[in-house]
Amino acid sequence: MRPYSLAYLNAHRCTPPEAVRVAAATGYQFAGLRLWPNGPSAPQQFLIDRPDVLRETLAALADTGVGIFDVEIIRIGDSFDPHTWDSLYDACAALKAKAILVAGDDTNEARLTENYARLCEVMAPYGLTADLEFMPWTAVKDANTALRVVQNAGMPANAGILVDALHFGRSTTTLDDIRALPRQLLHYAQICDATAGTHFSTEDMIHTARCARLLPGEGNIDVRGLFAALPADLPVSVEVVHHEREKTADPTQWAATCLAASRPFTG
């Protein structure tokens, strides 16, 4: 059976233990958490340096059998130090998380590549993969760029490339590009839908990604083709955030709706 994970953005209204319990109640095998914000003062879930929240989350994991799959987020900029996130690695180890989502912001690709290799080295003792997500408004704009960075970094054993259906549909990435990704670099993929195309402004792309994704089948991204091109057993992170629609559905209802809409597209 293909595993499903409840992505942070799909449960952004929940605390970490709440997200675990929502995932369990709605049929997910895993949950994802954002324990580090994607920018200064940006939304996140608070657990680092909060032992009470960690204890409650660990209790929820033990009670439900749900696991933590991915934790967000590390951004590689021009002044990158992998030890900035030491407390995040420790939290991931305590939660037995599998992956950390990585964004590449440094437009100097040689330096970005070197720093990605350093990150993989620092994360390796924690048993974590460093899953580089291509996003068309970042320095890692498409799947080919992500693959080039990982290959030029020396293909570390814990390297990874994260495929998000939204960024596939809004970048120049093709299904052939997806099929060309080495299997050992694929640890999970994110599902949602939207209007496809490469004509959107950065502001529009970020707004959709963070606030207004569609359920699979509601847009015109080739979601079915994408997941047919990915390994059949690849875990799927359901990442359908839509702030307006969530006003009329509690987190459990929304998580269930999103999983039901995703299953037909993932085999």
For residue range 67-98, list pLDDT tens digits in order.
999 999 999 999 999 999 999 999 999 999 99
Which pair of structure tokens corresponds to residue 205? 């792309």
**Average pLDDT, integer, range 191-215:** 96
Cβ-based neighbour number of residue 182 at 10 Å: 12
- Of 66, 77, 2, 71, which Cα lies nearest the Cα of 39? 77
The single-letter DSSP state of residue 142 is S
Query: What's residue 67's pLDDT?
Result: 98
**Average pLDDT of every residue of the chain:** 97
Query: What's residue 132's pLDDT?
Result: 98
Query: What's residue 206's pLDDT?
Result: 96
Confidence category of residue 160, pLDDT binned at 50, 70, 90: very high
Confidence category of residue 179, pLDDT binned at 50, 70, 90: very high
Q: What whole-number percentage of the chain has pLDDT above 90?
A: 98
Query: What's residue 31's pLDDT?
Result: 98
Confidence category of residue 66, pLDDT binned at 50, 70, 90: very high
Neighbour-count burial for 157-172, b at 16+ CB within 10 Å, e otherwise: ebbbbbbbbbbbbbbe
Q: Do the strands 99-104 and 30-34 form a parallel or antiparallel pair, or are they unpaired?
A: unpaired
Give the pTM. Answer: 0.96
Residue 155: pLDDT over 90: yes
Query: What's residue 1's pLDDT?
Result: 78
Residue 267: pLDDT over 90: no
**Average pLDDT, integer, range 17-21:** 98
Query: Which residue range forms the structural domain that includes residue 83?
Result: 4-265
**Average pLDDT, integer, range 101-116:** 98
As for how many domains the chain has, the answer is 1
CATH number of 89's domain: 3.20.20.150
